Structure 1
């Protein structure tokens, strides 16, 4: 039997870990996991109304999140967006020498700040938990230093600078996340090459086997599901390796197929759009012009 927990306030995290909540900052928390007696029932689903950065290491064991096993032996960082669901299947009693920390901050903390506008750029919040950031010892020390400084600030008396300093510390953490994920894409280049080859084959097969007419335009989610990655992680991986995100790859094959049909047949543009999976021809015309600089009719006349 599964248990579903939803945390709407930062205070719920303190209650979950049986900790007293400091009264100073109700919208942000830093928790040292080595200081808490963590008890999580098996088959527990947890979601929150706020952002979570979770670094954890359990010697000698893996933790299963949903259908994927995350190796926490060396330590991994998960970045979780509001309302993202964690499916935990754990055996806490088996863990020894657990360590780690969690940073939790509510969207209201950053509302009206420059960080609020930048959150959409931190695409790692859309990754699945099994796509966690696996950090080197140096990276772990850098993160821990940032977390300690944030924690120290949370213990200071509140003044007119408190929010901006706290938000700055959080932004620094997120910027390091972006940097270290970039490093992870590079160090996993051989594995990434395999993913790229899979993506290319999937798209080639899709466009050569009349998949468009039967299934409509392929989506980034469809593509990500086939290579067992989240849409956000796949797009960032492709962008890092090829300079084009997942949607760009789909559009490339789509436009190439459109060119083939326009040159090899005399089908009206509206029918070509339909064959390519477009419900409305004007959307096809707009995309074709955007990608080639010419309308479908202009392209056909020139060739």
Structure 2
């Protein structure tokens, strides 16, 4: 029987060479980057697959797998062509390894590979690097061909004789690939706007229920994490969804709903400002006053007086 420590132990993959060993592949041709065909990977059964993390970026386009991967709190069945991107130090687990049959490409690179390039400063601005796997990008046939073309271009450069231009070409192609991915994620948000509007209604319902219950008085203000957990999405993905529909991040949207509720209480009740602040979940009335004035350019008392 495994101990709790063994069950919670995370296997860390520090380098591209370790990733190759982990995947049953020969040594990489470059110490900091590799382009891998999933068909070449040997998914051998190992306890390391139960929980592992990579100190590497990964960009993968996958198709046709019966295996299951857990990323964050979510399971994903790879039965459709999807694209996933992950940043270093994110935790994974893979289940049903004996059934894993994947085609496609895995591009993996160490942060040092792009360190001397402008990409290093902007790569973490791409929200999709922190999405959970079940929030993956679903590509159209045309988009898939473009991504595969860029992957093959990187693979071609990777397999060519290395010269002083090799890294420049590969980093530039990765940069271009990420711009395309960003475009496709935005397309996915737009085409799924109806679904996102449904999520907006769920956010509204969660916030309304929160403000109308005693929960806020015990747990304080509603948080981005509270909403994300209840909707089974990551905080980053939720903010991107709301921004696409409302133009506001999740925190900004929470503040907007807070102010709307405060205005109702100020205009329809005789509760003091301190009592309203407490009802909304604020620990201190000063914090409520500051937020209200920041959003409305008036203090709560000034708003009440102008309304009256």
Residue in 2 aligned with 1:36? 41
1:163-203 CA-to-partner distances (Å, cap 9, x unmatched) read 43322211222222211122222333343332222111111
SS at match of 1:65: strand
Cα deviation for residue 89 of structure 1 reads 1.2
Q: Does 1:10 align with 2:16?
A: yes
Q: Is the 8 A contact 2:225 2:235 kept in 1?
A: yes
Unaligned segments of structure 1, at least 5 residues: none
1:35-59 CA-to-partner distances (Å, cap 9, x unmatched) read 2322244761121112111222225
Pairwise CA RMSD of aligned residues?
Answer: 2.5
Residue in 2 aligned with 1:114? 118
Cα distance change of structure 1 residues 206 and 152 upon mapping to structure 2, 3 Å threshold: same
What is the TM-score with the length of structure 2 in the denominator?
A: 0.86
Written as runs of structure 1 = structure 2, the 5 A alignment for 1:1-303 is 2=7, 4-23=10-29, 25-41=30-46, 44-58=50-64, 61-65=66-70, 68-92=74-98, 94-96=99-101, 98-265=102-269, 269-303=273-307
Cα distance change of structure 1 residues 286 and 113 upon mapping to structure 2, 3 Å threshold: farther
Q: Is the 8 A contact 1:207 1:253 kept in 2?
A: no
After TM superposition, the runs of 4+ consecutive aligned structure 1 residues lying more than 6 A away are none
Unaligned segments of structure 2, at least 5 residues: none
What is the TM-score with the length of structure 1 in the denominator?
A: 0.87
Q: d(CA) in 2 for partners of 1:241 and 1:276?
A: 25
Cα deviation for residue 261 of structure 1 reads 3.0
1:44-78 CA-to-partner distances (Å, cap 9, x unmatched) read 1121112111222225x252426644232231111
Cα distance change of structure 1 residues 295 and 117 upon mapping to structure 2, 3 Å threshold: farther
1:135-166 CA-to-partner distances (Å, cap 9, x unmatched) read 22222111111111122222344444444332
SS at match of 1:179: helix
Q: d(CA) in 2 for partners of 1:189 and 1:150?
A: 33
